[in-house]
């Protein structure tokens, strides 16, 4: 997010302090179900050099921050999947790592808790941590990340700053609110496809970005345009494009 590799280069062998500065959240839950929350987090934090007193103090703060429904003495197996995921995130971050690796961090969370976890991730970024974030939902990547490496079938198909990647595909998406009906919108110059969204706005796929100006000039004559917004494709659309190219 803030940077990918930071100070970790191929010619730099990891020391114990380097390992202690890494936090890793795996996609699959790796918690021990028979341990209590305190026992589990204390064990994992001790591997990063933390003492029991510091762990307990910080764990209580983190559980309140993430609204974990449970206590320090609850067993992991008695927590909901969402709260188990929160405990796993706490264990990842409790030692204030400089490098954070998050693999599908929103698994098992409802929308409210997804937003809560996103806030935590952005706070870690603001703190100066380097974050490597893996997710199949491109909207999350677009919202959280500065840079992206897009992989399809084990091959890198795109990499760079998120805005640069999107802009490289041109302003080929157009959003308008107009008095025209769908058939009329589909007949505008350079329109490949158009749909009427639930919010009453038309989403239009353009053959080339240049058609946006032509459409604006045509629609702005004799009618009121409430919305006219020309944008590049989303990362989700770009992934579909690149995946299609890679499968040809």
In this prediction, residue 154 carries a pLDDT of 84
Measured CA to CA, the distance from residue 97 to residue 22 in angstroms comes to: 5
Task: Name the burial class of residue 21, with classes exposed (0-12), middle (13-18) and buried (19+) by CB atoms within 10 angstroms of its CB.
Answer: buried
Residue 150 resides in a domain: no
Q: What is the CATH number of the domain that holds 83?
A: 3.40.50.300
Q: Are residues 129 and 70 in the same domain?
A: yes
Task: Spell out the residues 6+ positions from residue 35 whose beta carbon is closer than 8 angstroms to its own.
Answer: 43, 75, 76
**Domain range enclosing 187:** 170-231
Residue 240 resides in a domain: no
Domain count, the chain: 2
Q: Are residues 127 and 177 in the same domain?
A: no
Measured CA to CA, the distance from residue 30 to residue 36 in angstroms comes to: 14
In this prediction, residue 6 carries a pLDDT of 37
Q: Are residues 116 and 212 in the same domain?
A: no
Q: Are residues 89 and 29 in the same domain?
A: yes
In this prediction, residue 3 carries a pLDDT of 38
Q: Are residues 112 and 60 in the same domain?
A: yes
Q: Are residues 113 and 25 in the same domain?
A: yes
Global pTM value: 0.80
Q: Are residues 175 and 121 in the same domain?
A: no
Q: Are residues 41 and 97 in the same domain?
A: yes
Helices (H) and strands (E) in the chain, counts: 10, 9
Q: Are residues 114 and 218 in the same domain?
A: no
Measured CA to CA, the distance from residue 205 to residue 188 in angstroms comes to: 11
Residue 5 resides in a domain: no
pLDDT tens profile 62-90: 999 999 999 999 999 999 999 999 999 99
Q: Are residues 184 and 126 in the same domain?
A: no
Residue with tokens 């040809």: 248
Which mean pLDDT values do the consecutive 10-residue runs of the chain (248 residues) have? 40 70 90 96 95 96 95 96 94 96 89 94 94 90 91 86 94 93 95 93 96 93 84 92 72
Q: Are residues 179 and 124 in the same domain?
A: no
Q: What is the CATH number of the domain that holds 185?
A: 3.30.70.100
In this prediction, residue 4 carries a pLDDT of 36
- Reference 55, options 94, 96, 25, 85; nearest CA is 94
In this prediction, residue 13 carries a pLDDT of 64
In which order are the strands placed within the sheet that holds 191-196? 191-196, 202-206, 173-177, 227-231
* HSE (side-chain half, CA atoms, 13 Å) at 128: 4
Residue 76 resides in a domain: yes
């Amino acid at each position: 997010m803030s940077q990918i590799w930071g100070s970790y280069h191929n010619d730099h062998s990891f020391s114990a302090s380097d390992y202690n500065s890494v936090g890793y959240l795996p996609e699959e839950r790796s918690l021990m179900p028979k341990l209590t929350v305190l026992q589990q987090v204390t064990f994992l934090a001790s591997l990063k050099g933390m003492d029991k007193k510091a762990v307990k103090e910080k764990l209580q703060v983190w559980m309140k921050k993430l609204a974990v429904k449970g206590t320090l003495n609850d067993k992991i197996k008695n927590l909901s999947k969402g709260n188990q995921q929160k405990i796993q995130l706490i264990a990842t971050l409790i030692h204030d790592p400089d490098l954070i690796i998050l693999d599908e961090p929103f698994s098992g969370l409802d929308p409210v808790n997804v937003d809560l976890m996103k806030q935590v991730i952005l706070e870690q970024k603001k703190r100066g941590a380097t974050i490597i974030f893996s997710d199949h939902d491109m909207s999350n990547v677009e919202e959280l990340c500065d840079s992206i490496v897009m992989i399809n079938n084990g091959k890198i198909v795109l990499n760079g700053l998120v805005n640069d990647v999107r802009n490289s595909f041109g302003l080929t998406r157009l959003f308008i609110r107009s008095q025209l009906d769908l058939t009329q919108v589909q007949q505008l110059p350079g329109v490949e496809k158009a749909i009427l969204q639930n919010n009453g706005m038309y989403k239009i796929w353009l053959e080339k970005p240049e058609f946006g100006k032509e459409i604006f000039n045509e629609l702005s004559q004799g009618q009121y345009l409430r919305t006219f917004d020309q944008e590049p494709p989303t990362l989700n659309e770009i992934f579909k494009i690149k995946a299609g190219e890679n499968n040809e």
